[in-house]
């Protein structure tokens, strides 16, 4: 989340209050893309296009090959990571990744990544990442996480992030995760009872929205926010009609088990947000409050993986036995 002065906040919320403007100012910091999607030459000319040289490199509108009717979302693609992605693994792990494009209901192309971390895995995690990162930067983390918790990982970039087109807005967030959910279910034939929705920071917004509408195996909310107004004005006690990201009003509608993880020293989204969501969520399981952790280092604490392993490997396993 960005830090705004009091005068900027007053202007933002009062002249006039607009949820999309609140969302853009407080939440979205798309980085320069750290990856590109290149046509797979082994897929033949249908995937590589008539010239075989076009690629999808960024949200700025580079040409995309594929059938004209799909608007450039069909075909097979290979992942090219830049140095800024800081990939920590070898070609063998890179080969476990499948990348492709889908299209949201709002007309944006959405970049997707599926990583087969554990071939015998029962669950696939649909991961909505935090702010100021894209799939390229997150790829190493996904491999490590999936391997350690014995899950495959599916993720996507929000509109305006990575190779996804359009602008980052609250409405686009919801359409983006809907497109990802549909792709995971249809392209990979993963049933809802085998999907774990995982949202981190701003990623908890589309995660909570989707989980409030669909039942799944479980939900993980990592450093979640209650709403945009409550982040900007911590004393806010009610949800106004112009508030953005109203997780606090949706979390009670989730019917799947919910694990909430939050650092007690979170400097971006106060720990009180995690507590408030836990108290409001009827399906919440034993939470993980990481003593001393901030907003971006929760996963560095040993109890992070310990709690995820116990939740997925034991608690969910018993429920699905």
- Where in the sequence numbering do the catalytic residues fall? 201, 266, 295
The Cα–Cα gap between 95 and 279 comes to 42
The Cα–Cα gap between 66 and 49 comes to 6
Q: Record the tokens describing residue 77, joined without a space.
A: 């693609």
By the 8 A CB rule, do 97 and 168 touch?
Answer: no
By the 8 A CB rule, do 178 and 213 touch?
Answer: no
Provide DSSP, 255-274.
-S-EEEEEETT-SSS-HHHH
- The 8-class DSSP code of residue 307 comes to H
Candidates 32, 127, 141; CA nearest to 86 is 141
The Cα–Cα gap between 236 and 226 comes to 11
Q: Record the tokens describing residue 181, joined without a space.
A: 């959910």
């Amino acid at each position: 989340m960005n830090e705004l002065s009091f005068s900027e906040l007053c202007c933002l919320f009062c002249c006039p209050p607009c949820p999309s403007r609140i969302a853009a100012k407080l939440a979205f910091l798309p980085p320069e893309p750290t990856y590109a999607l290149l046509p797979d030459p082994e897929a033949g000319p249908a995937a590589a296009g008539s010239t075989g040289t076009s690629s999808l490199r960024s949200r700025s509108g580079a040409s995309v090959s594929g059938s004209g009717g799909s608007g450039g979302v069909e075909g097979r693609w290979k992942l090219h990571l830049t140095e800024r992605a800081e990939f920590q693994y070898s070609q063998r792990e890179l080969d476990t990744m499948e990348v492709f494009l889908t299209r949201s209901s709002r007309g944006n192309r959405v970049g997707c990544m599926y990583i087969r971390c554990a071939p015998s895995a029962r669950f696939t995690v649909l991961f909505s990442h935090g702010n100021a990162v894209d799939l390229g930067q997150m790829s190493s983390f996904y491999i490590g996480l999936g391997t350690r918790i014995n899950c495959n990982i599916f993720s996507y970039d929000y509109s305006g992030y990575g190779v996804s087109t359009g602008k980052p807005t609250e409405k686009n967030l919801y359409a983006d995760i809907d497109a990802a959910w549909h792709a995971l279910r249809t392209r990979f034939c993963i049933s809802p009872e085998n999907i774990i929705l995982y949202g981190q920071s701003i990623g908890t917004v589309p995660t909570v929205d989707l989980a409030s509408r669909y039942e799944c195996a479980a939900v993980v909310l990592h450093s979640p926010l209650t709403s945009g107004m409550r982040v900007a004005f911590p004393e806010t006690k009610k949800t106004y009609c112009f508030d953005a990201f109203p997780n606090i009003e949706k979390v009670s509608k989730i019917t799947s088990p919910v694990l909430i993880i939050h650092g007690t020293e979170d400097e971006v989204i106060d720990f009180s947000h995690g507590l408030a969501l836990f108290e409001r969520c009827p399906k919440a399981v034993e939470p993980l409050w990481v003593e001393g952790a901030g907003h971006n280092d929760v996963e560095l604490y040993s109890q992070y993986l310990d709690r995820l392993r116990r939740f997925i490997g034991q608690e969910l396993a018993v429920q699905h036995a």
